[in-house]
Amino acid sequence: MTTHTDAPAAQDAAEGVPDTGPVPRRALTLAAVLLAVFVVPTSISGTAVALPDIGSDTHAGLVPLQWVVNAFNVAFACLTLVWGSVADIIGRLRAFALGAAVYTVASLASALAGNVVLLDVARALAGAGGAAIFACGSAILATVFAGPERTRAFALFGTVAGVGVAVGPSLSGLFVENLGWRWVFGLHALALGLVLAALPAVAKGFPRVRREGARLDVPGSVVFVVAMMLLTTAIVQGSQWGWASSGVLGLFAGSAAALAVFVLVEKRTEYPLLDLGVLGDRRFLALCMVPVAASFGFVTMLTYLPSYLTAVAGFGSSAAGATMVLLTLPVLVCPMLAAKLVGRGVAPLTLIRVSLVCLVAGDVGLTLFGPDPVVAVVALPMLVTGAGMGLSAGLVDGQALELVDDARAGMAAGFLNTLRLGSEAVAVAVYGALLATAVTGRVRDGIGDFAGADRAPAVAGDLAAGDLSGAVEAAGAADRAGLTEFLVTAYDGAFHTVLWTLAGVCLLLGLLVVALLRGRPARQPSA
């Protein structure tokens, strides 16, 4: 297998040395990739804010309304690896442009959808385009930038992705309140339209590094998509059907069986969707596990800490949002800080190890939260947890792709981002399941002490969702004040139990990463 390039600096690209090109073109390339990368996580975190208005406007039921968010996430998780392989075959910029075009069309369709079914389909299509943007975007940066510039580019990649996640709900809320929910998707289309307009200029002289003669592994792609679809659907539906239900267990079993078939198919395919030899590099595998640790240590807190602040700490929505800045601020600052430290001689792997320590220490420190938290006390563990995410964001992508042959960078980026998004879905689902289990146990054991209180499952469900007032109403106890205090204590205890569990998971993942990093890097050769 050979690497084909048709740019002015084709020989350098073929040898694995990025063609950096003129500074203005590199800047335009970076700007286009970062704008697209900003839109995708903004959509992931912000679409849920628009659901009440979408439901009211389209008269949608609960399940189809939830799939406005779920369809995007499932399609994204299923197709990221596929797009990475496509990028290595047809060229990274071409695949990126195709994904951006798909996202643009899907966003326009979302804005114009007349019913929730069409909206669900459009959001699934947008998820497919978003997968291409993430898988191909990081591969493009690895192609265009080298040395310290590559470190800075990936730091900006991580910063912009973090900003998108952090501001997505606020931006969506602003659009919904002032322009209507359709503009949430319409503005996404406008932003991606700007990206598409910039790509012809970016394409001039861009090295199209690809595997000559390679073709898409259709059987492997189909089996992998089926496996990921079954897995993500099981995670999405677990909270609705019950984690021990036959439907969810069947989906998990089907996913495991499909993954086993996928491995067999890849071993017998000349041009596999995922070259299993890439996973033989211990350092590459270790770096791919870092976002998994961040999913358990940081993303779960980003998702569920606001509910704790409102249900237990008694914060209003604005106060909870302001407090969450302590968690998200390091994600905006630390990627560039890490790049500067690397530029001054600090080893990138040292910073990655520090980020893992921060995730564990931060989650343990968050146990300082209580019903009457002092912000000055919990500020430090929140900042430390955010730093655990921010120090590795972007940096880990650049370091991982350096270990892989340039012709397979798209596939490697696809694999890394598949683990990233997949682990986020798993981590959030695991947190929710653990919290619900812990809350249910505490409510069931103590609710009988309050006269007139019953319906423990319904009370526990409302409480686990962060709806304290709804839980009190559902219980029907005569002593509402006493019951409220009990429920606050129950939620607080469950939250602390889950925190210790998450810290333990991060510690185990961190130890695994450290152990794997002891292996020697094994750059994959072109065949």
Helix (H) or strand (E) holding 210: strand 210-212
Same domain, 46 and 94: yes
Angle between helices 62-90 and 116-144 (to 10 degrees): 30
Give the pLDDT confidence score for residue 208 in this predicted structure. Answer: 62
Cβ–Cβ < 8 Å for 33, 93: no
Q: What b/e sequence results for 342-376 when a residue is b if at least 16 CB atoms lie within 10 Å of its CB, and e otherwise?
A: beeeeebbebbbbbbbbbbbbbbbbebbbeebeee
Give the pLDDT confidence score for residue 63 in this predicted structure. Answer: 67
Same domain, 291 and 254: no
C-alpha triplet 21, 22, 23: angle, nearest 5°: 115
Which of 169, 192, 212 is at the close of a domain? 212
Closest to 77 measured CA to CA, from 414, 429, 413, 427 = 414
Same domain, 242 and 163: no
User: What are residue 4's phi and psi, to 5 degrees?
Assistant: -105, 130
- Indicate whether 138 belongs to any domain: yes
- The range of the structural domain enclosing residue 234 comes to 218-268
- Indicate whether 168 belongs to any domain: yes
- Indicate whether 273 belongs to any domain: no
Helix (H) or strand (E) holding 362: helix 348-365
Give the pLDDT confidence score for residue 6 in this predicted structure. Answer: 39
Same domain, 425 and 480: yes
Same domain, 342 and 198: no
- Indicate whether 165 belongs to any domain: yes
Same domain, 427 and 485: yes
Q: State the number of CA atoms in the 13 A half-sphere of 80 facing the CB.
A: 26
Q: How many CB atoms lie within 10 A of CB 321?
A: 15
Give the pLDDT confidence score for residue 73 in this predicted structure. Answer: 79
Same domain, 424 and 495: yes
- Indicate whether 202 belongs to any domain: yes
The pLDDT averaged over each successive group of 10 residues in the chain (527 residues) is 40 40 78 92 78 81 75 83 84 91 95 91 93 87 83 84 78 83 92 93 73 75 87 74 85 94 88 80 91 91 82 79 85 87 91 96 93 88 94 86 78 82 78 83 80 72 76 76 86 92 95 85 44
Same domain, 256 and 341: no
Give the pLDDT confidence score for residue 355 in this predicted structure. Answer: 96
| Number of domains observed in the structure of the chain | 3
Give the pLDDT confidence score for residue 514 in this predicted structure. Answer: 93
Cβ–Cβ < 8 Å for 383, 326: yes
CATH number of the domain enclosing 489 = 1.20.1250.20
User: Could you read off the pLDDT of 25-63 as tens digits, one per residue?
Assistant: 788 989 999 999 999 888 877 787 787 788 888 887 766
**C-alpha–C-alpha distance, residues 280 and 247, integer Å:** 35
Same domain, 160 and 235: no
Give the pLDDT confidence score for residue 185 in this predicted structure. Answer: 92
Same domain, 351 and 466: yes
Same domain, 328 and 264: no
| CB contact set of 445 (below 8 Å; sequence gap of 6+) | none
Same domain, 403 and 290: yes
Give the pLDDT confidence score for residue 211 in this predicted structure. Answer: 59
Give the pLDDT confidence score for residue 71 in this predicted structure. Answer: 83
Q: How many CB atoms lie within 10 A of CB 143?
A: 29
